[in-house]
Amino acid sequence: MPTIITAARLVTPVEWIEAPVVVIEDGHIASLASRNGTEIPEGRRLDFQDLILAPGFIDIHIHGGAGRDAMEANESALAQIERQLAKHGVTAYLPTTVTASQEKILKALDGLGKMIATANNNQGRAVPLGIHLEGPFISHEKRGVHPPLDLVLPSRQTFDQFWQASAGTIRMMTIAPELPGAVETIRHARAVGVHSSLGHSNATYQEAQAGISAGADHATHTFNAMRALDHRDPGILGAVLDNDELTADIIADGIHVHPSVLGLFLRAKGADRAILITDAISATDMPDGIYSLGGLEVRVSNGRCEYQGKLAGSVLTLDRAIRNVMSFARWHLQQAIKLATLNPAQRLGISDQRGLLAAGKRADLVVLTPEGEVAHTIIGGEIAN
């Protein structure tokens, strides 16, 4: 029996539809139209009066939540993280690793890869689409809290070790393009379908451009852990902000980036190339205290996560990031939603299934108030929360 969803409005997110009727069969959208002039078919009804339907959110950079860390790489940890994500409208994500010993990274990649292979069977939980490898191919100067002794120069051989351990489930890799071997590794990663993201980097403008020419197509938490922008030495930030083909993500929590700088970023990258991420750690949705980030003990207080005085991830949620864009940059809901739905889906090459509400797409939706608060999350046509 089909499921029929009705609401006040729907954002695809490229257009608004008033009084929508969404018909779901076998976990996919069978049809989508306005109720005006459309006969509502028989089926199980879900009516969300005065609320807005939107695509489920996609977080391409998240380390944990609900007290658990993605590097634990076991069913218990991911189940808690994925339920917590669903509460905030996230229906798909990239569990993100951190720099650690190669043995620990390989073990985490092995565990995550096995769970990703069976993830579509997880009811009521966000789905892991693949792994984001953040570290160890990053700069000493811009490593943030990543352990310096575990940093490794990029090479095809080391990448292949990680790739094989993950059973081919790495989808994105943060890399500093100025490092010896980086350009060759970016080119090799692109050949197997991995998106290289420029980040944790002290690259000059020319070094960043070399990485882009080799195949890098994204940038990690723009402004954070990057060489500062100078009017005579634009550096990696100049390349990221100026390149119309490069997508870039940002942590819109008001802590990692000042609200006015968020506005500048959005104007530079535009509505099609900007992506919201959380960089959230295990402390998300938890009380203040000490929490783990890949084994590091991070102190969390008043929304700020620190390790030895440095920012160490966030407790941001993606629905809050959308509302912050609306508040800080004065963007309307439709614009802000696109940064967490269609844009990440297009970057990952999965917009044929996710990130856009249309016939034939997966039935992953979030039900929102006009202010962007999450009322319900629907994954595969079923209410998850």
Instruction: From 182, 184, 213, 214, select the one nearest 199 (Cα to Cα).
Output: 182
* Residue 165 vs residues 72, 109, 110, 198, 342: alpha-carbon distances, Å: 15, 6, 5, 23, 30
The 8-class DSSP code of residue 201 comes to B
Is 267's pLDDT higher than 80?
yes
Is 22's pLDDT higher than 90?
yes
Average pLDDT over residues 360-383: 96
For residue 316, the model assigns a pLDDT of 98
Residue 209 to residue 216: CA distance in whole angstroms: 9
Is 42's pLDDT higher than 90?
no
For residue 39, the model assigns a pLDDT of 79
Active site residue 279: yes
Convert the pLDDT of each residue in 289-330 to its tens digit. 999 999 899 999 999 999 999 999 999 999 999 999 999 999
Residue 60 pLDDT level (bands cut at 50, 70, 90): very high
Mean model confidence pLDDT for the chain: 96
**Range(s) of the chain covered by CATH 3.20.20.140:** 57-353
Report long-range pairs for 115-121 (Cβ below 8 Å, ≥24 apart).
115/73, 115/74, 115/75, 115/78, 116/169, 117/167, 117/169
- Quick check: helix, strand or coil at residue 108? helix
**Between 171 and 35, whose confidence is greater?**
171
**Range(s) of the chain covered by CATH 2.30.40.10:** 3-53+369-383
Convert the pLDDT of each residue in 69-115 to its tens digit. 999 999 999 999 999 999 999 999 999 999 999 999 999 999 999 99
253 Cβ partners below 8 Å, 6+ apart? 303, 314, 316, 320, 321, 324
| Of the options 1.10.8.590, 3.40.605.10, 2.30.40.10, 3.30.1540.20, the CATH number for the domain spanning 3-53+369-383 | 2.30.40.10
For residue 6, the model assigns a pLDDT of 96
Convert the pLDDT of each residue in 112-149 to its tens digit. 999 999 877 677 899 999 999 999 999 999 999 999 99
Q: Is residue 91 within 8 Å of 377, Cβ to Cβ?
A: yes
Residue 212 to residue 210: CA distance in whole angstroms: 5
For residue 190, the model assigns a pLDDT of 97
Q: Residues 174, 138, 197, CA angle at the centre, nearest 5°?
A: 20
For residue 118, the model assigns a pLDDT of 86
Convert the pLDDT of each residue in 169-218 to its tens digit. 999 999 999 999 999 999 999 999 999 999 999 999 999 999 999 999 99
Candidate list 253, 279, 319, 364, residue with the active-site label? 279
Q: Cα(first)–Cα(last) distance of the chain, in Å?
A: 21
For residue 121, the model assigns a pLDDT of 65
Is 234's pLDDT higher than 70?
yes
Convert the pLDDT of each residue in 149-161 to its tens digit. 999 999 999 999 9
Which two three-digit tokens encode residue 20?
Answer: 């929508």
The CATH number that domain 57-353 falls under is 3.20.20.140
